[in-house]
Amino acid sequence: MNVTLTDYYENLVQKLVKQGRYTDQNEVVRAGLRVLEKVEQLPLSTELHQQWIDEALASGPAEPKTQADWDALKERVLSHR
């Protein structure tokens, strides 16, 4: 298999190898593919976003938010990661 990289990615790969983070270019590409594989296994985020939109619309008119409200929202978002 042959892979063509843009100058930006070629420089990134070379930089990572030069820093000693990876032993060679192939190892960098394999690491990137492992990350991509994990990302591709995540559920589609559009479904979650649509759920949040539906919940927001069903909740009624907007009201001022307190710090406790923002903290709860932050916790909810982080729990979905």
65 Cβ contact list (under 8 Å, min separation 6): 73
Q: What's the gap between Cα 60 and its chain centre?
A: 31
Instruction: Tell me which DSSP letter residue 43 carries.
Output: P
Tokens 């690491």 sit at which residue? 31
What is the value of pTM for the model shown? 0.52
Domain boundaries, the chain: 7-40, 45-79
Question: Residue 81: pLDDT above 80?
Answer: no
pLDDT in tens, 14-67: 999 999 999 999 999 999 999 999 888 877 668 788 888 898 888 888 778 899
Neighbour count for residue 28 (Cβ, 10 Å)? 19
pLDDT at 44: 65
Q: What's the gap between Cα 41 and its chain centre?
A: 12
1 or 35, which is more confident:
35
Instruction: Tell me which DSSP letter residue 61 carries.
Output: S
